[in-house]
Structures are given as structure tokens and as C-alpha cells.
Amino acid sequence: MIILPSGETLIWKAVDISDQRGRAIDVIPKLEEIILNDLNEQSIKVAAINLVTRYESSEETSSKFTELYLPTDICQIIIGDLFWSCISQLAILIKPYCGAFGKLQINKAQLYDVALSFGYFIKFWE
């Protein structure tokens, strides 16, 4: 299948194999057995087997329909004023570091910019 820049889809030698899924499900365990036997012959330990090969999910529930809630104790911490004042103080402390690291990430960072940024930190912590 090829999708042109205009958005038109071209299908070349497409074959509908949806009815052959049953055969694939029968073949997969045989392939796993062959692979595991080959690994055993080469003395390779298998630490995990992927569930994708069996077309199974590890959990039956879908995340679309599962509602998640924060525990009450965590909600009480987040609602409190102390939490937000600590977060505000942390944001004030981190802001200069973010600026310095931003300077380091610029491709054309000048050495004096970086030196001044870290000089500020040295003065701050003395």
C-alpha cells in the first residue's frame, strides 16, 4: 500500500488474509516450541516470554474504561497550603538552574554565558 502526497491510496497486490488468523494461532505455539528448543540446544537461558506472540494482553481490562483515583492521603497533601508554598519555593530555587542548563543546550552557547551562569550558582551556595 502506498499513500501519495495528494492523499490518494494505491494498493498493489493486496490479498485478504483475515480468514487465515485461525491457522496463525495454531502455528504460533509450534514456532515458540522450535525457538525454545533451539535456545536450549545452544544453552541460552530464557528470562521472559513475550505475551504479544500469543495475541493476549496481560490484563483483561482496558485503560479506556478503568478510572484511576488518587489515594485520600495524597489528595489531602495536595490540597494543603503547605504543599503549594513548598512547590513555589522550589520553583524559585530551580529557575536559575533551568536558565543555566538552557544556555548549555544552545548550539551557539558562548563560554562566558556558561561561566557567568555557574558563577552565579557558586555565589549563591557560598
- Cα(53)–Cα(28) distance, rounded to whole angstroms? 7
Question: Which carries the bigger pLDDT value, residue 97 or residue 121?
Answer: 97
Co-location of 78 and 116 in the same domain: yes
Q: Which domain holds residue 47?
A: 20-58
The pLDDT value given to residue 98 = 80
Is this prediction's pTM over 0.85? no
pLDDT digits (tens, 9 = 90+) for 25-71: 676 777 777 777 777 777 766 655 554 444 555 555 555 667 778 88
- Cα(97)–Cα(117) distance, rounded to whole angstroms? 8
pLDDT digits (tens, 9 = 90+) for 71-95: 888 888 888 889 888 988 988 888 8
Indicate if the pLDDT at residue 15 is higher than 70.
Answer: no
Co-location of 76 and 111 in the same domain: yes
Co-location of 50 and 77 in the same domain: no
Co-location of 51 and 83 in the same domain: no
Q: What is the DSSP string of 57-97?
A: -SSSS-TTT------HHHHHHHHSHHHHHHHHHHHHHHHHH
The pLDDT value given to residue 18 = 63
Co-location of 74 and 52 in the same domain: no
Question: Which carries the bigger pLDDT value, residue 84 or residue 11?
Answer: 84
- Give the C-alpha distances (Å, rounded to integers) separating 117 from 62, 76, 106: 48, 38, 14
113 falls in which pLDDT band (50, 70, 90)? low
Q: Which helix (H) or strand (E) holds 113?
A: helix 111-125
7 backbone φψ class: left, alpha, beta (φ>0; ψ -120 to 50): left
The pLDDT value given to residue 100 = 74
The pLDDT value given to residue 17 = 62
The pLDDT value given to residue 19 = 65
Co-location of 93 and 49 in the same domain: no
Co-location of 38 and 90 in the same domain: no
Co-location of 49 and 88 in the same domain: no
